[in-house]
Structure 1
Amino acid sequence: MTEPHPADKQRDVIVIGAGQAGGPLAGALARSGRRVTLIEKSHVGGTCVNEGCTPTKTLIASARVAHLARRASDYGVNVGTVSVDFTRIQERKDDIVESFRSGSTTGVHKAGVELLMGHARFSGPHSIQVALNDGSQRELHAPLVFINTGTRPRWPDVTGLREAGALDSTGILGLTELPEHLLILGGGYIGLEFGQAFARFGSRVTIIEQAERLAMREDPDVAQALTTALHEDGVTFLFSHRVRSARRTDRGVEVTLDGPQEKHVLTGSHLLVATGRTPNTDDLGLETAAIEVDERGYVKVDEHLRTSADGVYALGDVKGGPAFTHISYDDYRVVRDALLHDRPRTTAGRLVPYTVFTDPQLARVGLSETDAQAQQRRVRVYTLPMTRVARAIETAETRGLMKAVVDDDTDLILGATVLGPEGGEVLSVLQMAMLGNVTAAQIRDGIFSHPTFSESLNNLFMSTPVTLKPEPTLT
């Protein structure tokens, strides 16, 4: 029989990581009367508040104002020469991050959670060693343990990257000077958001992408419209190029590229590495607790977010799958409802929307046209360019398009993409329709306020669709 742990070491719950799942879950469980300890290595609030959504969208907002100011004459407004105060932009970003971070920390304390700042490591399935940031050590034990350690920027195996002073998506947030020429390694959504923002601040921007085009998960027409918009804003693209090495020279950062034709060299003042994320699992001692991970290091979970170790759960980006703050928060709700409200539900079948905060915004949920073709679905595909949206014409923001994939038998919406101004907000209307089984015909005939972007959904479903039919099976 196992001896009980001393009272000062025993907890009801241990949460590792104060991200958008860990913090709320710790608070909810503490308010239910449980003794909860939350362990966080750096900042409460996780990637979203500290290095992700909050700081980047704040920068993007400043970049958009600069962009609109330069376009003022398009609206008949004269503003003179537009300049950017990069120091003030960074200060504004830092102030907002600190406000959000402080609010998250205050909420944890108010809920009665014990917050330990330090690095946690499993010494058994329910035993945690904590190396506190002040240099001391703690040992804790609990029957329930939740892992919410998230991910960090992934650095590719390219010779000289770190030595050349390359930045990742966290490091670039701390810049004190505006890059003259920003090279971006990787044309994913992180690279695109930073690329357009810095181009609008006044930097030259070159994005190096090994694929043949942007946004490979999106339909080709959507990807092309996005590429065109970014190019108009001053972003240069090198597709089908791979970086082989990097080095620091007197002129800046020099990268050697393999392209479709031959090797060549490109020099910029700064280099951003935006080639994806990797899970923070390599120093958690998971093997000690018999917690299984996949080949990329993500924690394996079932649809209830349970790991291979009894009583241990993983939530948020650390478990793989869609790496979005709203998914992390929904992971918290899945666990909360099961443990506190006797309302068990799972992660299976949930709609996963996302919005990329380029301008125009790229928002998507459910099936794309490409997905429907691959699945041999009988669907109708509706497409409406933003040039036919009244509100877009009135605001002089006509870049992009809307698309919806509709089941040809039921008239239910299976997926949608909105590339346009406030695309994420417009997509939410279509997502609500999907959640409520509202048909395309009902939206077509619905009454929406005029003139709004959402009203254009009437026009989307009045347009002539393309019908996709399954290919006949050869016998």
Structure 2
Amino acid sequence: MRTINTNVAIIGAGTAGLAAYRAARAEGATAVIIEGGQYGTTCARVGCMPSKLLIAAAEAAHAANHAAPFGISVGSVQVDGEAVMARVRRERDRFVGFVIDGLEALPPEDRLLGHARFVDDGLLQVGDNTRVHAASVVIATGSKPIVPEVLNGLGDRVVVNDDVFEWTTLPRSVAVMGPGVIGLELGQALARLGVRVSVYGGRGSIGPLTDPKLVDAARTIFGEAFHFEPRGTMLSATRVDDGVRLRYRRADGTTTEDTYEYVLAATGRHPDVGNLGLENTTIELGEHGVPRFDPHSLQVDRHPVFIAGDSNGILPLLHEAADEGRAAGRNAAQYPDVAKIERRAPLAIVFSDPQIALVGARHRELPADSFVTGEVSFEDQGRSRVMLKNQGRAHIYVDRATRRLVGAEMLGPSAEHIGHLLAWSLQMRLTVDAMLAMPFYHPVVEEGLRTALRDAAAKLAAPR
């Protein structure tokens, strides 16, 4: 049995794990990074990058199919499913290759391949032949998809987003269970590529939206993009010769049945910490077996253990995972001198069409009467109408007392870009007046943001 002694052991070589390793080494600590699966981050292998490749193909097909309103005829549009998926996999592998190159550039003695489990508080077993004594540990094992129990027994007819990017061609039909970020992005992309798609929801929510007016607008818009059942219960899922037979009860009590080639489980992800042997330690576990930790320092109770990235379930986003990894690696190396993580302004984007962006506090998190809502509809917004992208609306939340931006929810064109402007404004603690003093070019979609800011300023000035 080989034994390794190190200052910091990092479990997981994804975005958070790599950032933790580099931060620990930058502090002068010795460190090893342990990977139990394939090299390549969730983002590069099965997340943000391959999904955007599929979405890009879908946007090209959609643009060709909807050129007629511009006075352009392109004839019959043919989607070659094999060619689409070949490009997705080829470019995905290219992105993964960059990550692997970076990992393999690390010193060989700092890289361990094998499943890691805690033997006790400071001792890890890696594979069958290696033990690691570590003064501090960073858990960065990421997350895994949730598959609802109703889908048990469907075999290879039930897939998660990881599986989609291994397809060699497009299926004929897919039922998407869950209208969250993954369900919206992949469901709409597949529908635009000619796949018969139905998206099934539970409680009527749409992606990460919480503002009731935006949720209502999203239900209508996405209901025109694919067959959408936003509120109800999946009663049964049965394997049949040609796929899966689903039976679904709507909120009004009516039921519907249909058969699909595949069911895509898109009901969320949870931290992947179940096989770490945490029961062998004195660490106290919380919901889903996740160690109880301080979200401000990422420290697990009073232990020299830190948890970062998707494995802690706070903000499962790449840039947040990188920030948390750096903070965890630094704290692990400097333990017991532990510092709070410096958080950026919250920003989340869904690459649907129209796009969704959330910045800062969500509508449901804000105390009633503490803010005003600046509103804009994109239906008649100039540049949006020129591009025939005139769907959706944006709501900007401004604090009544300070006049500062506190949050925003948006469903509309260029949300990925406007979201960044709003996140920067929030992080700079700008007031609505300071934001309105910024330049707005004409004609751009961002003029819609100015409309919303003007609406907020007018509401602040109105008597209550």
- Normalised by the length of structure 2, the TM-score is 0.91
Q: Work out whether residues 13 and 143 of structure 1, in 8 Å CA contact, stay in contact via their aligned partners in 2.
A: yes
What count of residue pairs does the alignment treat as equivalent?
458
Task: Give yes or no for the alignment of 1:118 onto 2:114.
Answer: yes
Give the letter aligned to residue 416 of structure 1: A
Structure 1 residues 161, 276: CA separation in 2 closer, same or farther (over 3 Å shift)?
farther
Give the letter aligned to residue 362 of structure 1: I
Give the letter aligned to residue 116 of structure 2: A
| Greater displacement, 158-167 / 204-213 | 158-167
Structure 1 residues 29, 368: CA separation in 2 closer, same or farther (over 3 Å shift)?
closer
Task: Give yes or no for the alignment of 1:245 onto 2:240.
Answer: no
Q: Work out whether residues 20 and 330 of structure 2, in 8 Å CA contact, stay in contact via their aligned partners in 1.
A: no
Q: Which whole-Å CA distance do the structure 1 matches of 2:381 and 2:97 have between them? A: 41
Structure 1 residues 100, 164: CA separation in 2 closer, same or farther (over 3 Å shift)?
closer
- Give 1:345 deviation, angstroms: 4.9
Task: Give yes or no for the alignment of 1:397 onto 2:397.
Answer: no
Q: Which whole-Å CA distance do the structure 2 matches of 1:407 and 1:332 have between them? A: 32
- SS of the residue corresponding to residue 452 of structure 1 reads coil
For 2:8, the equivalent position in structure 1 comes to 13
- SS of the residue corresponding to residue 107 of structure 2 reads coil
Give the letter aligned to residue 21 of structure 2: A
Q: Work out whether residues 14 and 142 of structure 1, in 8 Å CA contact, stay in contact via their aligned partners in 2.
A: yes
Measured against aligned partners, the alpha-carbon deviations of 1:359-378 in whole angstroms (never above 9, x if no partner) come to 11100012344433xx2343
Measured against aligned partners, the alpha-carbon deviations of 1:66-95 in whole angstroms (never above 9, x if no partner) come to 111111222333322111122222222222
Structure 1 residues 386, 296: CA separation in 2 closer, same or farther (over 3 Å shift)?
same
Q: Work out whether residues 3 and 130 of structure 2, in 8 Å CA contact, stay in contact via their aligned partners in 1.
A: no
Give the letter aligned to residue 316 of structure 2: A
- Normalised by the length of structure 1, the TM-score is 0.89
Equivalent of 2:309, from 295, 311, 316? 316
Task: Give yes or no for the alignment of 1:386 onto 2:382.
Answer: no
Identity of aligned residues (%): 29
Task: Give yes or no for the alignment of 1:104 onto 2:99.
Answer: yes
Task: Give yes or no for the alignment of 1:283 onto 2:275.
Answer: yes
Q: Name stretches of at least 5 consecutive residues in structure 2 with no aligned partner.
A: none
Within a 5 Å distance, the mapping from 1:235-384 to structure 2 comes to 235-259=226-250, 260-302=252-294, 303-308=296-301, 310-336=303-329, 338=331, 345-347=339-341, 350-372=344-366, 375-384=367-376
| Greater displacement, 280-289 / 99-108 | 99-108
Q: Which whole-Å CA distance do the structure 2 matches of 1:96 and 1:25 have between them? A: 27
Q: Work out whether residues 23 and 45 of structure 1, in 8 Å CA contact, stay in contact via their aligned partners in 2.
A: no
Measured against aligned partners, the alpha-carbon deviations of 1:5-44 in whole angstroms (never above 9, x if no partner) come to x995212221111111101221333355433221112233
- Give 1:402 deviation, angstroms: 1.4
Give the letter aligned to residue 364 of structure 1: L
Structure 1 residues 41, 51: CA separation in 2 closer, same or farther (over 3 Å shift)?
same
For 1:202, the equivalent position in structure 2 comes to 194
Q: Which whole-Å CA distance do the structure 2 matches of 1:82 and 1:262 have between them? A: 37
Measured against aligned partners, the alpha-carbon deviations of 1:337-359 in whole angstroms (never above 9, x if no partner) come to 55679997524875321001111
Q: Work out whether residues 31 and 111 of structure 1, in 8 Å CA contact, stay in contact via their aligned partners in 2.
A: no
Q: Work out whether residues 305 and 332 of structure 2, in 8 Å CA contact, stay in contact via their aligned partners in 1.
A: no
Q: Which whole-Å CA distance do the structure 1 matches of 2:412 and 2:269 have between them? A: 27
Q: Which whole-Å CA distance do the structure 2 matches of 1:281 and 1:184 have between them? A: 26
- Give 1:250 deviation, angstroms: 2.6
Q: Which whole-Å CA distance do the structure 1 matches of 2:215 and 2:444 have between them? A: 25
Q: Which whole-Å CA distance do the structure 2 matches of 1:450 and 1:120 have between them? A: 56
Give the letter aligned to residue 294 of structure 1: G
Give the letter aligned to residue 323 of structure 1: P
Structure 1 residues 161, 214: CA separation in 2 closer, same or farther (over 3 Å shift)?
farther
Q: Work out whether residues 381 and 468 of structure 1, in 8 Å CA contact, stay in contact via their aligned partners in 2.
A: no
Structure 1 residues 353, 391: CA separation in 2 closer, same or farther (over 3 Å shift)?
same
- SS of the residue corresponding to residue 42 of structure 1 reads coil
Q: Work out whether residues 243 and 257 of structure 1, in 8 Å CA contact, stay in contact via their aligned partners in 2.
A: yes
Q: Which whole-Å CA distance do the structure 2 matches of 1:75 and 1:328 have between them? A: 42
For 2:224, the equivalent position in structure 1 comes to 232
For 1:87, the equivalent position in structure 2 comes to 82
Q: Which whole-Å CA distance do the structure 2 matches of 1:324 and 1:45 have between them? A: 16
- SS of the residue corresponding to residue 306 of structure 2 reads strand
Q: Which whole-Å CA distance do the structure 1 matches of 2:405 and 2:379 have between them? A: 23
Q: Which whole-Å CA distance do the structure 1 matches of 2:421 and 2:362 have between them? A: 17
For 2:46, the equivalent position in structure 1 comes to 51
Structure 1 residues 159, 407: CA separation in 2 closer, same or farther (over 3 Å shift)?
closer
Structure 1 residues 74, 311: CA separation in 2 closer, same or farther (over 3 Å shift)?
same
Structure 1 residues 28, 224: CA separation in 2 closer, same or farther (over 3 Å shift)?
same
Q: Work out whether residues 83 and 169 of structure 2, in 8 Å CA contact, stay in contact via their aligned partners in 1.
A: no
- SS of the residue corresponding to residue 149 of structure 2 reads coil
Q: Work out whether residues 24 and 332 of structure 1, in 8 Å CA contact, stay in contact via their aligned partners in 2.
A: yes
Q: Work out whether residues 369 and 381 of structure 1, in 8 Å CA contact, stay in contact via their aligned partners in 2.
A: no
RMSD: 2.7
Give the letter aligned to residue 249 of structure 1: V
Task: Give yes or no for the alignment of 1:417 onto 2:388.
Answer: no
Equivalent of 1:138, from 119, 123, 130? 130
Structure 1 residues 89, 202: CA separation in 2 closer, same or farther (over 3 Å shift)?
same
Q: Work out whether residues 154 and 278 of structure 1, in 8 Å CA contact, stay in contact via their aligned partners in 2.
A: yes
- SS of the residue corresponding to residue 174 of structure 1 reads coil
Q: Which whole-Å CA distance do the structure 1 matches of 2:412 and 2:254 have between them? A: 37
| Greater displacement, 385-394 / 309-318 | 385-394
Q: Work out whether residues 27 and 108 of structure 1, in 8 Å CA contact, stay in contact via their aligned partners in 2.
A: no
- Give 1:406 deviation, angstroms: 0.6
Q: Which whole-Å CA distance do the structure 1 matches of 2:37 and 2:195 have between them? A: 31
For 2:66, the equivalent position in structure 1 comes to 71
| Greater displacement, 189-198 / 254-263 | 254-263
For 2:214, the equivalent position in structure 1 comes to 222
Structure 1 residues 338, 38: CA separation in 2 closer, same or farther (over 3 Å shift)?
closer
For 1:3, the equivalent position in structure 2 comes to none
Q: Work out whether residues 378 and 412 of structure 2, in 8 Å CA contact, stay in contact via their aligned partners in 1.
A: yes
- SS of the residue corresponding to residue 443 of structure 1 reads helix
For 1:188, the equivalent position in structure 2 comes to 180
- SS of the residue corresponding to residue 426 of structure 2 reads helix
Q: Work out whether residues 85 and 170 of structure 2, in 8 Å CA contact, stay in contact via their aligned partners in 1.
A: no
Q: Which has the higher contact order (CA 8 A, sep 6+)?
A: 2
Task: Give yes or no for the alignment of 1:162 onto 2:154.
Answer: yes
Q: Name stretches of at least 5 consecutive residues in structure 1 with no aligned partner.
A: 1-5
For 1:38, the equivalent position in structure 2 comes to 33
Give the letter aligned to residue 332 of structure 1: G
